[in-house]
Amino acid sequence: MILNQGLTVILFGCVAAAFGGGVGALEPEQKKSPHAWTRALAVSQDGKYLLTTRGIFDLETGKWERVDSLAANFGTFSSDAKTFTVFGREDHTIRVYDRVTGKILRSFQLDHREVYCVAFSLDGNTVISSGDGFLKQWDMRKGKLRCTFDGRHAATVLAISADGKYVISGDRGTATTSLRMWEVDSGKQIWKAEGHSWNVYGLAFSADGKHVVSVGDTAFINFRNIKDGKLVKSIQVGQKAESAEAIVYGMCLTSTSRYVMVAPEGESLSLWEVATGKMALALQTEKSMRPDKMFILPNDSGAISSSAEEGIVHWDLQSGERIRTIWR
């Protein structure tokens, strides 16, 4: 199968890991990592670089550009990929690095007692954090708090709209999980809707800005109206719809939202066509994976998955075969 339209990356929550040493060391503030394996954090907007907790991998050359440990849980590249930003839960610190020199350009600490997750705006100017039952908006350039959102929500998954105006939040570990839409500038809640049965694992905005897409503890991809949160479409993507194991661990969308890539429990990663609700491609995974990150690369150049079971893998979206295992 060949996807002709451009593709984009949708991020969802991840846990950190790292290995040290080697080519082009970063500044020593990031040497220690509490985790045992390397995970992917972000892909640059041009699809050339992959940010991991081991360093930066050049997807064009197939070589590591910079190798060192990053004690990070979330990350992003600037639009020109000259800098990258990471956040670590252990010290609650945002750090902005020069990609070439590895030097820290600026850093600031979030004032939560505990941080559940963060999300970065596409322009790199804003970060939304969730912790202590509240959402907060931060100015990335000044390292200062802009506002605390109205109302409590212990969100564990966040996504910011492409225009930076809205943020969708989802939670985990409660029998009545909720999705909440917020206005970024004012911090006001726009709507609240019941999510999946227990956990929300992935959130994204559709390319046309009309829908919010979610996956979690059901075998369905749900599409909701961005204005009022009403459910407008569901696609069953797993074979265990009536089972307690009906889980979809994450997703990412193409730039036109024509296809959705998902990770159902006990099944291969797969690509689904939204209009028909039919599976378009099954990736040839060696075993059932529980990815903490998935990305679809620009220009139909493939996809990236990151999991404890198979490590970081670069996939061909035409054949479903792996191009390379980047790290395991």
- What tens digit of pLDDT does each residue of 213-247 get? 999 888 899 999 999 999 999 999 866 555 556 78
* Segments of the chain with pLDDT less than 70: 1-37, 173-176, 238-245, 286-288, 300
Q: Report pLDDT for 37.
A: 66
- What tens digit of pLDDT does each residue of 54-75 get? 999 999 999 999 888 888 999 9
| CATH of 113-166+175-194 given 2.40.10, 3.30.420, 2.30.29, 3.90.320 | 2.40.10
Q: Report pLDDT for 320.
A: 92
CA 234 to chain CA mean position, Å: 21
Q: Report pLDDT for 7.
A: 35
Q: Report pLDDT for 79.
A: 93
- What tens digit of pLDDT does each residue of 28-46 get? 343 333 345 689 999 999 9
Strands across the sheet with 83-88, in order? 74-77, 83-88, 93-98, 104-109
Neighbours of 123 (CB within 10 A): 13
Helix (H) or strand (E) holding 323: strand 322-327
Neighbours of 99 (CB within 10 A): 20
Q: Report pLDDT for 225.
A: 97
Q: Report pLDDT for 108.
A: 95
Q: Report pLDDT for 34.
A: 39
